[in-house]
Structure 1
Amino acid sequence: MDLTVIAYIVYLLVSVGLTVWVARTLSRNGRVFLADVLHGNEKLADAVNHLLVVGFYLVNLGFVALHLSQDDPVADARQLFEALSVKLGVVLLVLGVLHLANVYVLNRIRRRGTLDREQRPPVAPQGYIPPAGGWSAPTART
């Protein structure tokens, strides 16, 4: 079998395996974060989590497929390892950048929700209480 084909097979196996592992890890551990971002709405957190995982798979597997082609034929084991290291390194960088982008966006949403909660008074106003000491509001002149 041609070494270029072996490089393709190894690249696809490792890339798809890494994509599935990262997606499962992010899905499992990101659920709690999403529930906090969405103010405890578990159903919505699960739905958003599922949509993010599907988008993650589509983007990453699409990139893996586009990055599959090899310009130069692989002639020996050294070129096989070099081609695989470049291809897998690029896939890992894309996975990392997409993960950081997701976390950044979700953290911005979470921070905005936290600021909104801090600006609301903890108790609604109950009414007007005049100050002590006999002070009275100025009256309008007629």
Structure 2
Amino acid sequence: MDRTVIAYVIYLLVSIGLTVWVARTLSRNGRVFLSDVLHGDEKLADAVNHLLVVGFYLINLGFVALYLTGDDTVANTRQVFEALSTKLGVVLLVLGVMHLGNVYVLNRIRRRGVMERETQPPVPPQGWVAPTVGA
């Protein structure tokens, strides 16, 4: 079998495995964060979490597929490792950027919700009292 094909197979297996692992980890651990962002609405948090995971898969697996092609042929074992390290390094950077982008946006939403909660009084007004004379 051609070394280039071997490098492609290893790249696909590792990239897809990493994408699935990162998506599951983010989904499992991000659920609590989403619940806080969405003010404790568990059903909505689960739905948003699922949509984020699907989008994460689509973007990252699409990138992995598009980045599969290479200009150089792999002639020896050293070039297999060089090609794999370059491709996997870029995939890992894209996964990290996607993760940081999600966390940034969700944190901005959460921060806005916290600011809104702080501007509201803890107890709603009970009524109005007229000012007294001489006060």
User: Paired residues, what number?
Assistant: 135
Separation in structure 1 between the aligned mates of residue 2 and residue 127 of structure 2, nearest angstrom: 83
Separation in structure 2 between the aligned mates of residue 51 and residue 58 of structure 1, nearest angstrom: 11
Separation in structure 1 between the aligned mates of residue 127 and residue 134 of structure 2, nearest angstrom: 18
Separation in structure 1 between the aligned mates of residue 75 and residue 63 of structure 2, nearest angstrom: 25
Separation in structure 2 between the aligned mates of residue 122 and residue 70 of structure 1, nearest angstrom: 60
Partner of 1:122: 122
Amino acid at match of 1:96: G
Partner of 1:135: 134
Using the TM superposition, give the Cα deviation of residue 129 of structure 1 relative to its aligned residue in structure 2, in angstroms: 3.2
Partner of 1:85: 85
Amino acid at match of 2:103: V
Using the TM superposition, give the Cα deviation of residue 131 of structure 1 relative to its aligned residue in structure 2, in angstroms: 5.1
Separation in structure 2 between the aligned mates of residue 135 and residue 11 of structure 1, nearest angstrom: 82
Separation in structure 1 between the aligned mates of residue 12 and residue 94 of structure 2, nearest angstrom: 15
Using the TM superposition, give the Cα deviation of residue 86 of structure 1 relative to its aligned residue in structure 2, in angstroms: 0.3
| RMSD, matched Cα | 1.2
Amino acid at match of 1:86: T
- Give the TM-score normalised by the residue count of structure 2: 0.96
Separation in structure 2 between the aligned mates of residue 125 and residue 34 of structure 1, nearest angstrom: 31
